[in-house]
Structure 1
Amino acid sequence: MLTTPAPFNTLVWRILVVKGDTYLEGYHSVLAPNRPIQFTEHDKNATLIAAAQHLAAVDRLQWFSHGFIKGSMRDDYLVITDLRMGVEGSYVFNHAVANNRDNTFEAIISRQLPASFSSEDVVALWEQIKAMH
Structure 2
Amino acid sequence: MQADAGTSGRARSVDLREDIPHSARMYDYYLGGKDNYAADREAAEQALAVFPHLRTYARQNRAFLHRAVRYLAAEAGVRQFVDVGTGIPTSPNLHEIAQRVAPDARIVYVDNDPIVLVHARALLTGTPQGRTV
TM-score (ref. length: structure 2): 0.30
TM-score (ref. length: structure 1): 0.30
Higher strand proportion: 1
Higher helix proportion: 2
User: RCO greater where, 1 or 2, for CA within 8 Å and sep 6 or more?
Assistant: 2
